[in-house]
Amino acid sequence: MYENLPVPYGLVRYGVAPDHPEVKNCIDTFDKVGQHPRFRFVGNTAVGRRGDNGVPLEAVVRNYDQVVFAYGADSDKKLGVDGEQLHGVYSARQFVGWYNGLPECRGLNPDLSGDEAVVIGQGNVALDVARMLLAPIDHLARTDISRDALQVLAASNVRRVRVVGRRGLAQSAFTNKELRELLALPGVGFAPVAASQLDPLALFAKDLPRALKRMVGLVQKGSAAGPDAPRQWSLEHLLSPARVLARPDAAAVGGVEFVVNELRQDSLAADARAAPTDARRVLPADVVFKSVGYDCTPLDDFEYVTGARFRAGDRLVPNAGGRVLRTDGTPAPGCYVAGWVKRGPTGVIASTMMDAFDTAEAVLADGAAAAPADRGGWPAVHAELARGGSLPWRPVSWADWCAIDAAERAAAVDGADRRKLLSVEAMLDVLA
């Protein structure tokens, strides 16, 4: 997803809310790997993507014994409803990238001039979006949030956020940790969950799975701030978007019309499906965030080079235990997958990490069993592509990244760890 940037860490740097404490732990772990003498970092280089700094996938696969594809999901799923293109409708992925300083999202500048926000989706990213809209500015200022984004959020008029899901509370995809953090925001009230959603869960509380039981307890307890708090948020259930409504006087969002759903199965079941009814409900909205999932896309020439084809429907690489499977069902020699491109864009950092360990075990087992091969690695790839002894772009090494890191840390303000550079040009200027 961020493979063409001069900086490491990927989703941890650009895809996770900056106030999450586990961000630092992940970066510390990556730093230990980066300092290993047998590790090579090549940044500002896009493998399998055509462009000024692109490296053909075939050149990499041919010059390495084993290649792990772990580039994540790089596009958004669409709502597929009328009005989705109105001014004031944003994808959660772009919004998260914007406040985290992702260069491609720098110009997003969401319109937060209205009072009402609707977040469609009830995963962890949806709650991240809600928390960033509602969190006190002095709290955000102590993180490495983009300073441009901090100014926009400081001037935001958003006072109410509705987080909307197509199924019930029991089927929500967010974790209790995310819920707890949002409920703990000072000066932010939580509107009670509808009795139709909460009562059945409370009635059978003793029979619920532990995580769901804790979720019910958190929702029942609510937030310390009451209904008179200056900012409010709520969980809305059993609603599927039908269309985004425009304001009468402008081509900008003014609300969202939803189809009211009902659960046709046990409402306590995690896999219960929602079925539409004839009822409709309109929620006011001055800004809308779509948090309904991501799509993984194949690298250029992926099928030609590996013999594997992305699965239709879920857009994942077919694999067995992390080993890429070709169209005939046999493993593609030396090719592996990890992360979202392997398992889909679901799960928190910890679950994705454990899944990556399984792939790593396959890599180690296959490497130990394989006959030694004389492959050239990055120097051979470099030699193939270099013109006049150098590449037409500037690859970034780990030492280069350390220089960029030092520059960001030196520019830190308000007690934050760093002040991120917001463009590739600014990052490369440090190295000049």
pLDDT digits 0-9 by tens, 214-228? 999 999 999 988 888
Average confidence score pLDDT of the chain: 91
Cβ atoms of 235 and 163 within 8 Å: the answer is yes
Going by pLDDT thresholds of 50, 70 and 90, the confidence category of residue 3 is low
Nearest CA-CA partner of 203 in 260, 266, 264: 266
What average pLDDT does this structure show over 332-342? Answer: 93
Distances (CA, A) of 295 to 105, 106, 315, 318: 17, 21, 7, 15
CB atoms near residue 264 (< 10 Å): 10
Contacts of 138 (CB under 8 A, 6+ apart): none
Query: Where do the DSSP E strands lie in 225-314?
Result: 231-236, 239-246, 253-263, 274-284, 287-290, 294-295
For 100, the enclosing helix (H) or strand (E) is none
**pLDDT of amino acid 7:** 94
**CATH top class, domain 11-73+295-431:** alpha beta
Q: What is the pLDDT of residues 369-410, one digit of tens each?
A: 988 788 899 999 999 999 778 888 999 999 999 999 999 999
Nearest CA-CA partner of 67 in 55, 53, 50: 55
The two structure tokens encoding residue 260: 């009211």
Q: What is the DSSP letter of 207?
A: G
Where along the chain do its domains lie?
Answer: 11-73+295-431, 75-293
Cβ atoms of 136 and 93 within 8 Å: the answer is no
**What's the predicted TM-score (pTM) here?**
0.90
Q: What is the pLDDT of residues 107-150, one digit of tens each?
A: 999 999 999 999 999 999 999 999 999 999 998 999 999 999 99
The two structure tokens encoding residue 161: 């956020």
Q: Which CATH number is associated with domain 75-293? A: 3.50.50.60
Tell me how far apart the 2 most distant CA atoms of the chain are, in Å: 74
What average pLDDT does this structure show over 316-329? Answer: 94
**pLDDT of amino acid 249:** 84
Going by pLDDT thresholds of 50, 70 and 90, the confidence category of residue 296 is confident
Going by pLDDT thresholds of 50, 70 and 90, the confidence category of residue 28 is confident
What average pLDDT does this structure show over 75-97? Answer: 93
**pLDDT of amino acid 343:** 84
% of the chain at pLDDT higher than 70: 98
Query: Where do the DSSP E strands lie in 148-219?
Result: 160-164, 188-190
Residue with tokens 């994808």: 91
Q: How is the beta sheet containing 331-337 ordered, strand by strand?
A: 67-69, 331-337, 323-325, 319-320
**pLDDT of amino acid 329:** 95
Judge whether residue 359 has pLDDT over 90.
yes
Q: What is the pLDDT of residues 240-260, one digit of tens each?
A: 999 999 998 888 999 999 999
**pLDDT of amino acid 188:** 96
Q: What is the DSSP string of 29-43?
A: HHHHHHTSTT----B
Nearest-angstrom CA–CA distance, 221 and 97? 32
Cβ atoms of 161 and 128 within 8 Å: the answer is no
Q: Which residues pair with 160 in a beta bridge?
A: 116, 232
What count of Cα atoms within 13 Å lies in the side-chain half-sphere of residue 327?
9
Nearest CA-CA partner of 134 in 84, 190, 56: 190
Helix and strand numbers, DSSP H then E, in the chain: 16, 17
Q: For residue 343, with 0-12 CB atoms within 10 Å meaning exposed, 13-18 middle and 19 or more buried, which class applies?
A: buried
Nearest-angstrom CA–CA distance, 9 and 3? 10
